[in-house]
Amino acid sequence: MADALKIGIAGLGTVGASLVRIIQQRSNALAVACGRAITITAVSARNRNKDRGVDLSGITWFDDPVALVENADIDVFVELVGGVDGAADLSVRAALARGIHVVTANKALLARHGVEFARLAEEKGLLINYEAAVAGGIPVIKAMRESLTGNNFSRVYGIMNGTCNYILTRMEKEGLSFEACLKEAQRLGYAEADPTFDIEGNDTAHKLAILTTLAFGSEIAVDDIYLEGISNISIEDINAAAELGYRIKLLGVAQRTETGIEQRVHPTMVPLDSVIAQVDGVTNAVALESDILGELLMVGPGAGGNATASAVLGDITDIAKSRPGAQQVPVLGRPAALLEHYRQAKMKSHEGGYFIRLSVVDRAGVFASIATKMAENGISLESIVQRSQYTTADAPVTIILVTHATMENAVRKAVSAIKHEGYLIGEPQVIRIERPKTV
Ligand SMILES: NC(=O)c1ccc[n+]([C@@H]2O[C@H](COP(=O)([O-])OP(=O)(O)OC[C@H]3O[C@@H](n4cnc5c(N)ncnc54)[C@H](O)[C@@H]3O)[C@@H](O)[C@H]2O)c1
Ligand SMILES: N[C@@H](CCO)C(=O)O
Ligand code: NA
């Protein structure tokens, strides 16, 4: 049998502790599958004395991940610390500088520095594997980097944040409050260290930016993503969506348009009878539309210790099975030097259906005025409803519009014109509608 693959793990939280446990429990099976043992030689975390339910005896402890990389006897550095600046960034750079392969679950770090890391890795013939960074346990990175080479992608979209999907599902199915659902997601280890990244859509944006690069061969452009989170979604929106035959999901969507690549993250209404609408709780789904294969939908666990550790383990075993000196899988699907300049399609040119919920004063002519403002901006309506169950006596009236496919710019202009009429109460709610091709 070949020499053991020696790994160092920085970060022993939700993901790191699960990974250590799984590697220790399955050491024999892993050795058989890889043709060599996988040995954890070094670990690093903040608190040496914390009980993590794993046996760390015989493993060298480092307080600092950089010190681990620089001093431990390792072939692979596994970064599970999180964060963009600081220990994660410094330790990954140190590993690449020292000629050590990297496995990471850190989408925020890759969205920011992925292209630079890819260049550094490629200069030295090193691997950076990051399956856990996007859609947790779903093997979407492997599929896009390896299995779908040669396909031209037209659209990539999905539910990529387990915390948000968990919150939306429990709010809808159990009528729980947003705050209670978020607390539970944190307790279960799904949320980021700062859950604002989950609920404001940044985490989905980090993941989408990576998928966009894999799909379209363009440089990572996380700052060009249109971003809206779910903190503004109320139970009224969720109920109204259901009545109209939709469900609200936080989607990340990247698609090619005539003017460039459109990347957006926002709450989205998807048809109730679509598969993606049935994806509940912490489960994620990624849909890939391409010319050779057609439509591929991958559904599976998106967050949590074991689901994420499963992806990290797959990345480690890929390195264990790789032959020294063999051609490496390019980090970002193609050599970093061949990534194209990112051409952004402007959000105001986005074309699609819209759900618009307005709270208005109960006055004659308001309904007609709203319909007129829509028509003046060339927006054709699928439906416009004013239903009594959304109101109580003397309360403002709720009017819900669903548009046919239209331009974002037209919707913005119409909503702005309505705002000037003086009958609107509070801010209008605008939710985009996304239609899966077939599934
Ligand atoms: N939890 C999930 O479901 C999940 C899923 C996919 C990806 N991820 C990503 O995996 C990474 C880890 O997530 P987690 O949920 O396990 O986080 P966590 O907060 O549970 O664990 C982080 C670990 O890193 C250690 N750490 C933090 N800063 C350190 C430092 N400066 N020096 C040494 N150790 C330090 C902490 O002590 C802790 O052991 C993050 O990048 C996260 O985005 C998490
Ligand atoms: N916080 C992330 C972890 C998985 O990347 C989520 O909820 O999806
Ligand atoms: Na994945």
258 is in an annotated binding site: no
Q: Which ligand is nearest to the CA of 310?
A: 3
Ligand 3 centre from 314 Cα, in Å? 10
- Structural domain contains residue 375: yes
Decide: 298 and 285 in contact? Cβ < 8 Å. yes
What is the percentage of the chain residues whose pLDDT exceeds 70? 98
Determine whether the shortest distance from the Cβ of 201 to ligand 2 is under 6 A. no
Q: Is the dihedral of CA 184, 302, 82, 40 positive or negative?
A: positive
Distance CA 26, CA 258 (A): 50
Give the pLDDT band of residue 386 (cuts 50, 70, 90).
confident
Using the atom order of ligand 2, give the atom closest to the CA of residue 185.
7
- Structural domain contains residue 180: yes
State whether 332 and 265 are in the same domain: no
Enclosing domain of residue 110: 5-137+306-338
pLDDT of residue 11: 98
Active site residues: 207
Ligand 3 centre from 162 Cα, in Å? 12
14 is in an annotated binding site: yes
State whether 358 and 334 are in the same domain: no
Q: Residue 393 pLDDT more than 90? A: no
| DSSP state letter for 160 | -
pLDDT tens track for 310-327 = 999 999 999 999 988 888
State whether 295 and 153 are in the same domain: yes
Give the pLDDT band of residue 202 (cuts 50, 70, 90).
very high
Determine whether the shortest distance from the Cβ of 120 to ligand 1 is under 6 A. no
Does the ipTM surpass 0.95?
yes
Q: Which of 166, 192, 249 to mutate to test the pocket of ligand 2 (most atoms within 8 A of CB)?
A: 192
Mean pLDDT value of segment 317-338: 93
CATH number for 172: 3.30.360.10
* Tally of domains in the chain: 3
> CB-hemisphere CA count at 13 Å for 408?
13
pLDDT of residue 208: 99
pLDDT tens track for 340-382 = 999 999 999 999 999 999 999 988 899 999 999 999 999 999 9
State whether 283 and 230 are in the same domain: yes
State whether 108 and 120 are in the same domain: yes
Mean pLDDT value of segment 61-67: 98
Q: Residue 187 pLDDT more than 60? A: yes
Give the pLDDT band of residue 388 (cuts 50, 70, 90).
low
pLDDT of residue 425: 94
pLDDT of residue 394: 61
State whether 373 and 408 are in the same domain: yes
- Structural domain contains residue 40: yes
201 is in an annotated binding site: no
CATH number for 424: 3.30.70.260
State whether 204 and 281 are in the same domain: yes
Q: Which ligand is nearest to the CA of 203?
A: 2
State whether 80 and 166 are in the same domain: no
Ligand 1 centre from 100 Cα, in Å? 20
Give the pLDDT band of residue 184 (cuts 50, 70, 90).
very high
Question: How distant, in Å, are the alpha carbons of 271, 315, 421 from that of 92?
Answer: 42, 16, 55
State whether 122 and 144 are in the same domain: no
Q: Residue 278 pLDDT more than 70? A: yes
- Structural domain contains residue 438: no
Q: Which ligand is nearest to the CA of 299?
A: 3
96 is in an annotated binding site: no
Give the pLDDT band of residue 436 (cuts 50, 70, 90).
confident
Buried b (16+ CB within 10 A) or exposed e, 330-366: bbbbbebeebeebebbebeebebbbbbbbbbeeeeeb
State whether 238 and 264 are in the same domain: yes
- Structural domain contains residue 363: yes
pLDDT of residue 439: 64
State whether 146 and 278 are in the same domain: yes
State whether 310 and 211 are in the same domain: no
Ligand 3 centre from 143 Cα, in Å? 9
Mean pLDDT value across the chain: 96
The model carries a pTM of 0.97
pLDDT of residue 328: 87
pLDDT tens track for 239-271 = 999 999 999 999 999 999 999 999 999 999 999
